[in-house]
Amino acid sequence: MKSNRTDLIHDPSGFVLLAEYVPGIIQEIRYYSTYNFIGDRIDGYEEPCALLTKEAARALKSVSNELMVQGYRLKVFDAYRPVSAVKHFILWGIEDQDIRMKPYFYPDLQKQELFAKGYIAKQSSHSRGSTIDLTLLDMATGRELDMGSPFDRFGEISHPDYRDIAQEQYDNRMLLRRAMLRGGFEPIDCEWWHFTLKDEPYPETYFDFPVSAEYLRK
């Protein structure tokens, strides 16, 4: 890749379209839609596609293969996230009046707590390109597994080790977690859906090119 840092953060050459690496993966890119904690499409999301570094995509393919044998498919909500999207989150956090999605995504928290408690980062691992938000879909029923809380439901209920949920819901979280750990990904302590490749190729670089298949192919 180019040595100039300005060029580097806009260079997608180390990234791939996840769907081309992991056949059968399901994508519901929430930040391209308006169904997210802000309620608007997020800056930088120009197409509803998941991008990842080649290394993370390769590792996720192994996870997918293992889970498909067990009857599950991966469903992705977010992958690479541009720095411009993170800036959108931060600006939204400053605008105290806008809480229209609070009942759906943070009913028990004030907006400012989302940043203070670490649910929304001011510098996101997603921007390094090897972090992914995902869940499992049961191939027999065609439905997502019940994880006890939906994606981006901020609060203790979404902590992976939260036990005030049904045993089946907890077991589903652990099914996803164990598969991702075996695949070389690391979890975080406040979101059951969030994993980062342990040996990520760009641990110090935060990219800012758009989420776009067209841009990737330039």
195 and 132 Cβ atoms separated by less than 8 Å = yes
Distances (CA, A) of 101 to 1, 35, 105, 181, 211: 40, 9, 6, 32, 23
Phi then psi for residue 26, to 5 deg, are -100, 140
The identity of residue 58, as a single letter, is R
The angle subtended at Cα 105 by Cα 101 and Cα 109, nearest 5°, is 100
Catalytic residue among 55, 191, 200, 214: 191
191 is catalytic: yes
| DSSP state, residue 45 | B
DSSP three-state, residue 78: strand
**Catalytic residue IDs:** 191
